[in-house]
Amino acid sequence: MQRLFLPLTIVVAAMFAYAPLMIANAPFESTMLLVQKIFYFHVPSWFVMFSGAFLCAGASAVYLAKGSRDADHYAVTGAELAVVFGLMGLITGPLWARKAWGVWWEWDVKLTLALIVWLTFVAYLLLRRYGGPGSEKLAAGVGIFGAANIPFVYYSVNWWRTMHPKTTVVPTLGPGMRGAFWFCVLAFMLLMVLIVAARVRLERQRALVDELFLELED
Amino acid sequence: MTRVRSAWRVLLVWLLIAAGPAWSLTVSAQQPPPRPTKPAQDEFVPIDQLPPGEQLPAAPLLIAAYSVAWLAVAGYLFSIWRRLDRVDRDIAEAGRRLPRI
C-alpha cells in the first residue's frame, strides 16, 4: 500500500478537482434546480460513513473473537471515518432541506436514525478516548451495535412514510446525473482508502511508541 | 452564443462549488430563520411578490454545503498528518534513548 499511496493521492486530488466541473455540467433537477447539486457530495459522504461503520463493526468482531491488535486499529479508523463523514452528511443534508423542505431539520425517521447512528460512533470514540484500560472491548460492542442500525437508516425511507427522498433515486438517475454522481462516489471511496491506510499506520506507530516507552521503563 | 452562455453557466456553478469556502462565513449570517413551507391552498403567490426575507436563494446553501465538505476533508487530513508527525517524532525520541533500536 505504501508504494501505491502517492499515486493514489494524486488520482484522488485530481478527481476532487474535476468533480465540481462534472457536477456543474450535470443537468438541473426539475423541481429543486440548483440546490439539488448538494446531493453529489451529500450521498457519497453517507456512503463513506456507512463503509466506515461497517469497517468498524467487522474489525471489532474480529478483535473480540481473536484479540487482534491490528483489527482494533481498523475498528478505530472506521469509527473515525463514520464520525467525520457522518457529520458532513448531517450538515449538508439540512442545507439542502432548508430549500427543498423549507426547514433545516425534521424529526423524520431517516434523519433521526441517522443522527442516532452518528451519535453511537461519537460514543465509540469518546469511550476509546476516556474509557481507560479495557475500554477497547466495550467500544467494540458499541461499534457492532452502531453498524447494526445502518440497514434501518438506509431502508427507513422505503419502510416508513418519510419526507426524505427514497432509495430509488440513485438507480433511476438520468444519464447526465448518473456519471457525475458515480464519479463523486468513486472519488470519496478512494479518499476513504487513503485515509484508512494513513490512519491505520498512525495506530500502528502509536502501538510501537507504547512498546518502546515500556521497554525504556524496564 | 448558446455555447458561450452554457459555458458561463457551467463556470458559475463550478465557482459556487469549488470556491465556496471563501464565502461560507457570510452565508451563515445571511440565512433567515427557518419557516416550514406549506403547499398553497387559499391563493397562489408568484415568488417575486414574496417579501425579500422569504425569497430563499439556493446558491448560498450550495456554497455552504460544499464549503463544509471541503473543510471537513481538509481538516481531517491535516489532523491525521499532524498526529503522524507527532508519533514519528516520539519514535525518533525513543530511538535516541534506546540505542539498539
CA–CA separation, B95 and A207 (whole Å):
14
Grid-cell match 447526465, residue found: A176
ipTM of the assembly? 0.88
CA–CA separation, A203 and A205 (whole Å):
5
When pLDDT is cut at 50, 70 and 90, the band that residue B93 belongs to is: confident
Residue A91 touches partner B, C-beta closer than 8 Å:
yes
Q: Is A170 helix (H, G, I), strand (E, B) or coil?
A: coil
- Contact yes or no for A80/A122 (Cβ under 8 A): no
CA–CA separation, B31 and B60 (whole Å):
9
Q: Do B84 and A198 touch (CB under 8 A)?
A: yes
Residue A214 touches partner B, C-beta closer than 8 Å:
no
- Contact yes or no for A199/A80 (Cβ under 8 A): yes
Residue B31 corresponds to which cell in the numbers above?
440565512
> Which sequence spans correspond to the domains of chain A?
5-23+37-217
Taking alpha carbons only, the member of A126, A61, A117, A108 closest to residue A85 is A117
CA–CA separation, B87 and A56 (whole Å):
23
Residues of B in contact with A28 (CB under 8 A): none
DSSP one-letter string for A12-44:
HHHHHHHHHHHHHHSPPBTTTBGGGGGHHHHHH
The pLDDT score that the predictor gives to residue B27 is: 44
Average pLDDT over residues A157-161: 90
The pLDDT score that the predictor gives to residue A216 is: 78
Taking alpha carbons only, the member of A59, A61, A87 closest to residue A196 is A59
Q: Tell me phi and psi for residue A33, to 5 degrees.
A: 55, -125
The C-alpha of A155 sits at a distance from chain B's nearest C-alpha, in angstroms, of 24
Lowest mean pLDDT among A33-37, A110-114, A187-191: A33-37
Residues of A in contact with B83 (CB under 8 A): 202
Taking alpha carbons only, the member of A56, A86, A89 closest to residue A196 is A56
Q: Do B58 and A191 touch (CB under 8 A)?
A: no
Please tell me chain B's helix, strand, coil percentages from 3-state DSSP, rounded to the nearest 5: 70, 0, 30
Higher pLDDT, B53 or A210: A210
Residue A158's identity, in one-letter code, is N
Give the pLDDT confidence of A38-88 residue by residue, as tens digits. Answer: 999 999 999 999 999 999 999 999 999 999 999 999 999 999 999 999 999
Check pLDDT > 50 for residue A25. Answer: yes
Grid-cell match 470556491, residue found: B19
CA–CA separation, A51 and A47 (whole Å):
6
Task: Give Cα separations from A16 to A24, A64, A133, A170 (angstroms).
Answer: 13, 37, 40, 20
The pLDDT score that the predictor gives to residue B32 is: 46
Please tell me chain A's helix, strand, coil percentages from 3-state DSSP, rounded to the nearest 5: 80, 0, 15
The C-alpha of A196 sits at a distance from chain B's nearest C-alpha, in angstroms, of 10
Residue A107 corresponds to which cell in the numbers above?
424529526
- Contact yes or no for B17/B62 (Cβ under 8 A): yes
Give the pLDDT confidence of B13-65 residue by residue, as tens digits. Answer: 666 676 655 444 444 444 444 455 555 556 666 666 666 655 678 888 989 99
The pLDDT score that the predictor gives to residue A129 is: 94
The pLDDT score that the predictor gives to residue A4 is: 87
